[in-house]
Amino acid sequence: MRFTKNTKCDDCLLKCDIHEVLCKTQGERAKVNHLHAHFKKHDIICKQGTEVTHAMFLVKGFAKMFIEGLNNKNITLYLLKPPAYIGLLSFFDSPKYSYSVAAIEDCQVCFIELDLVKKMYVDNHDLLLCLNQAFGKSVTSILSKIISLNQKQIRGRIAENLIYLSKMYDSQEFHLKLSRKEIGEMAAISEENTVRLLSEFAKESIIKINGRDVEILDMPLLKKISEVG
């Protein structure tokens, strides 16, 4: 990770909720410089167990949000793409992150002092409500993930995650930014079975797969598989 520059919001690629509030409520004072950091592929953006010191906002690149389990086995809960709050779930509760976020390609992240954010939402609940809403959505998605992980079998789980990826990339054709092992971690499946299932789906002409390039050929069937289990 390398801190690249202090950036004025005006110059930033992406305007976040926080920027908007800063403008409204603080006028000229809004022109604070925020720290921007650049993360390379595979870099850890925030680490389970470490202190929460900043609010972070994903400005560019894809990242994965995962929990580190036993025996170095991780479970990825969801992917993040801009605009997204990073570390939102640990924002209000604890001084420590209860999960980790890692870059799956080069990422740019805006760091905002936690104290500043806290001051801000004292003056402005629209912001707080915004954060809360994003928070709530995360939770809803996690709950449905729990069911999926526990009650669907691996075929259904892989199908589900392929659909998820397709939605993320907003296309039937996409390049996996993730290794087979990482795909497996999204569905809590071993690397080997992940490979097997992807080939299986390809053989059945449900998807076309070439290295990390995927094309979904039969979305309705994929949906059916994901629903049945």
Partner DNA sequence: ATATAACATTGATATAGAACAACTTTTTAT
Partner DNA sequence: ATAAAAAGTTGTTCTATATCAATGTTATAT
The two three-digit tokens of residue 176, written as one number: 């996996």
72 is an interface residue for a second copy by CB under 8 A: no
98 binds a second copy (CB under 8 A): yes
Interatomic CA distance for residues 14 and 30, integer angstroms:
15
Q: Which of 153, 171, 172, 205 binds DNA (CB under 7 A)?
A: 153
Among DNA, a second copy, none, the one that 192 touches (CB under a kind-dependent 5 to 8 A) is: DNA
Minimal distance, residue 159 CB to DNA, in Å: 12
What is the bridge-based pairing of β-strands 107-113 and 54-60?
antiparallel
Taking the least distance from each CB to DNA, the nearer of 124 and 166 is 166
* DSSP three-state, residue 59: strand
> How long a stretch of residues is the chain?
229
**Binding status of residue 60 toward DNA by CB under 7 A:** no
Cβ atoms 86, 130 nearer than 8 A: no
Q: Please give the structure tokens belonging to residue 99.
A: 């999960």
CB within 8 A of 176, min separation 6: which ones? 165, 183, 212, 213, 214
Scan for tokens 């290794």, then name that residue: 179
- Binding partner at 75 among a second copy, DNA, none, C-beta below 5 to 8 Å by kind: a second copy
Footprint of a second copy (CB under 8 A): 67, 69-71, 73, 75, 77, 89-94, 98-99, 121-122, 125, 128-129, 132-133, 135-140, 142-147, 149-152, 188, 229
Q: Which residues bind DNA (CB under 7 A)?
A: 71, 153-155, 179-181, 188-193, 195-196, 198-199, 211-212
